[in-house]
Chain A
Amino acid sequence: MSEESHDFAYTDTERPPAEAIREALAPRYSVVPFRRAHTLRRTWLDTFDWRLHRAGLTLECVTGHGPAELVLSGTAGERITAAANGARWPALAETLPSGRLRDRLTGLTSVRALLPAAKAASTVAEFRLCNADDKTVAWLTVDRLHPAAPAAGRAAGTPARLSITAVRGYHGQASRIARCLAAQPGVFPGTVPALDAVLATAGQAAGEYTNKIDVELAPSMPARSALAAVLLRLLGTLEANVPGTVRDIDTEFLHDLRIAVRRTRTGLKLGAALLPDGLAAGYQPQFKWLGDLTTPTRDLDVHLLTFAAGAAGLTSASPADLAPFHDYLVARRATEQRRLARALRSARFTTLTAAWRAALTGMAPPRRGPDAAHAAAGIIGKAHRRILARGGAINADSPPEMLHDLRKRCKELRYALEFFASLHDLPAHRRAVRELKGLQDCLGTYQDCQVQQKEIRAIAADLLAAGGVPATALLAMGDLAAHVGERERQARSEFSSRFAAFASPQARARFAALTAGAQP
């Protein structure tokens, strides 16, 4: 059983690494071939938003002579392997063969599919490093990576990767060997992870994608430039999610795309005065069109994602009774998804994004105008005051529309906080978002439950009109609607306390402190 390894990069392309190592270690240690060089096909897998990478994990599908194997390894030494059993990518972790690997992955990836992040061929040779008794004291692995898709102008290969692993009880000798090796020309201690090396040849890096607005703004920069930078970042997120949405890889592509559209619409609305005349007014209908396009599929996704939990909560019906309802949702989603994909491939969409990018990149800062800090304080302050006023007007008898409207205003404030997060103190920003989120969750549940109940009723009517639906299915849908209704009432009853917490003098003071010093 072996442990502890010393890694090196070997850059000499003239001399084979084993030959150089043999010369370096003679006569004290010998280098004995153990396994002939063999080629492995390696495919690194992660979710589009790099959930495994962020958790310090690397997942590979390795194919050699035998069946393909999945290998999950962690920076803390964690390693789980499982047969790939012909898995095809993209795939949800829950579709992998049952076992420890699947259990570990499902919690991390959730609704996101695993898809290839990089591919390479790996030529691996193994050697025994032996002492004078011909006893193996360490293992030497020489690995040459050949990325599948290097970017033009970049080297197709990476330096050979050498790894010396001590045999248990021989750490001292392995360290001596490593020191000797480190002194050789062309040998450099340490290697970047194989995935990073392969991605680098394509000009990429792990963890690049995030749906967060990670734009660094300066308080004194022109507000127009700051807003343009945020909107450009949102356009990047929107475009990054188009292929995955069109291919219907997983539901989060559409979700991230939709959020990018919503944030853009909020930016256009709240920051209209900062943009060149007529720009916001011109693009608002375009992005409304795009947002509306995404609604039917996303609503059905939410239905299907929460379906199992809803079915499990039935009290007077069996989850199996809901099968016709489920089939209906799946069929309707397929239709809506096709419609959405068609629209995202349309000339209208392509023209919209190209023109929007051109408008943002070509936008010159105004000669006069507020700086980013003051504009942010103004936008956030106004959005905050609007919530306090409209929320304060809601009482127990208020119609649902007032709560729905308040939910929209909360979203606007949330997005505004996110746009300008880099201008504010991070802990204060997080606290403000947390306080707002408490109110948003309550309003979200309330409205989502109302929408779901309406849809359940409408679908029940559709199924009945189409004929052939069993009575048990309709009864189960009624049961489901009743549970959704219960959640709706619960959320409604919580509203006043949630709003009171958000509108408390202490919370108001904290909000004011967030933008203090930059009040208009």
Chain B
Amino acid sequence: MKIIATYNIKGGVGKTAAAVNLSHLAAGDGLRVLLADLDPQAAASYLFRVRPRVKGGGTALIRGSGELDKAVKGTDFDGLDLLPADFTFRNLDLILDTTKKPTQRLARLLRPLGASYDVVFLDCPPGISLLSEAVLYAADLVLAPIIPTTLSLRALDQLTGFIAHLDGHRPAVLAFSSMIDRRKRLHRELAERLPAERPDVAAAAIPALSLIEQMAVQRAPVTAFAPRSAASRGYAQLWAEVRARLS
């Protein structure tokens, strides 16, 4: 089982869209996939039409045993399950802090799922917190969307620097250009230059398209309702790169 976290310190950069579409593509490849919506905003849960509620909330999930497996819901797509978000996930930091070895807790909770799933996507809230550390400890690969701006690059450097200083397990990092506005010269230039200059940046780039925003209206991955669109092609290229890195 491989664990992929879509994570960035910055918010609003396309983490959830990437997690939703890549998990759909992974399931389409015949893999058994779980998408864990760890963000209390519950956007991924909403997109899959799953009610954002976990029995017992974050406390039961983090402190209990086997609660995670019980909370999983099937999506409308073959091979793709979802661990829905819950509003209490806003306190996951505090709940983790009450456990022994809190940074290892999430990895320990996910380990038994290895028999049921080939890939687990963790859709994380932004920021640096105890939950982020637990996610980074659990993940094999951190997939970091970056809007090609100077500030976003700074945030990526902060992330890689943070990971470099972690004790023990350090996940691989793969950034990718997200929400590219082709009308902006800086976006175009950085999206082309970054993959050539930095090995931790994917060649795939996700354009800023209203079709991706349509996901909230359709309540489905764009790769499901518009599989031939430029957005879907971008996600397919990104998934191919992610798969290659994992293997």
Contacts and interface: CB of A to CB of B under 8 A. Distances in A.
A168 B74 contact: yes
A128 B75 CA distance: 12
A169 B73 contact: yes
Contact of A128 (B32, B76, B78, B79): B76
Contact of A167 (B51, B71, B74, B79): B74
Contact of B49 (A133, A168, A169): A133
Nearest to B78: A1
A1 B74 CA distance: 6
Given A1-B32, A1-B81, A168-B81, A136 B76 contact: yes
B71 to A, nearest CB: 8
On chain B, which size bracket covers the interface? 10 to 19
A168 B72 contact: yes
B232 to A, nearest CB: 21
Contacts of B78: 1
A169 B74 contact: yes
Q: Which of B50, B51, B73, B79 has the most CB of A within 10 A?
A: B73
Contact of A134 (B71, B73, B81, B219): B219
Given A1-B32, A128-B76, A170-B73, A135 B50 contact: yes
Contacts of A168: 72-74, 81
A2 interface: yes
19 contacts: A1-B74, A1-B78, A1-B79, A2-B74, A128-B76, A133-B49, A133-B219, A134-B49, A135-B48, A135-B49, A135-B50, A136-B76, A167-B73, A167-B76, A168-B72, A168-B81, A169-B71, A169-B72, A169-B74
A167 B71 CA distance: 13
Given A1-B74, A168-B73, A170-B73, 15 more contacts: A1-B32, A1-B78, A1-B81, A2-B74, A133-B219, A134-B49, A134-B219, A135-B49, A135-B76, A167-B75, A167-B76, A168-B74, A169-B73, A169-B74, A170-B74
Interface in B38-67: 48-51
Nearest to B219: A134
Contacts of A136: 74, 76
Nearest to B84: A169
B165 to A, nearest CB: 38
- What secondary structure prevails in chain A residues at the interface with B? loop
Interface string A108-131: 000000000000000000001000
Nearest to B49: A135
B34 to A, nearest CB: 9
Contacts of A169: 71-74
Which 3 pairs show the lowest CB-CB distances between chains A and B?
A169-B73, A168-B74, A135-B49
A11 to B, nearest CB: 31
B215 to A, nearest CB: 15
A371 B197 CA distance: 100
A39 to B, nearest CB: 22
Interface string A49-62: 00000000000000
Interface string A198-229: 00000000000000000000000000000000
A484 B48 CA distance: 69
Interface in A362-413: none
Interface in A65-106: none
Interface residues of A, number: 11
Interface in B137-192: none
Interface in A1-37: 1-2
Interface in A149-187: 167-170
Nearest to B117: A1
Nearest to B71: A169
A1 B77 CA distance: 8
A170 B49 CA distance: 13
A168 B83 CA distance: 11
Nearest to B76: A136
Interface string A478-503: 00000000000000000000000000
Contacts of B71: 169
Interface in B1-57: 32, 48-51
Contacts of B81: 1, 168
Contacts of B76: 128, 135-136, 167
Nearest to A137: B74
Interface string A342-354: 0000000000000
Contacts of B73: 167-170
Q: Which of B71, B73, B76 has the most CB of A within 10 A?
A: B76
A110 B134 CA distance: 53
A103 B245 CA distance: 34
Contacts of B50: 135
A169 B55 CA distance: 12
A169 B70 CA distance: 8
Contacts of B72: 168-169
A169 B71 CA distance: 7
Contacts of A128: 76
A96 B50 CA distance: 43
A65 B48 CA distance: 30
Nearest to B116: A1
B2 to A, nearest CB: 18
A2 B50 CA distance: 15
Nearest to B77: A136
Nearest to A135: B49
Contacts of B79: 1
Contacts of B75: 167
A128 B76 CA distance: 9
A111 to B, nearest CB: 36
B18 to A, nearest CB: 22
A349 B154 CA distance: 94
A257 B49 CA distance: 63
Contacts of B48: 135
A169 B82 CA distance: 10
Contacts of A170: 73-74
B152 to A, nearest CB: 34
A169 B83 CA distance: 10
Contacts of B219: 133-134
A136 to B, nearest CB: 4
A135 B32 CA distance: 20
Q: Which of A135, A136, A168 has the most CB of B within 10 A?
A: A135
A74 B68 CA distance: 29
Interface string B82-102: 000000000000000000000
A134 B74 CA distance: 14
A99 to B, nearest CB: 16
A35 to B, nearest CB: 12
Contacts of B74: 1-2, 136, 167-170
Interface in A219-266: none
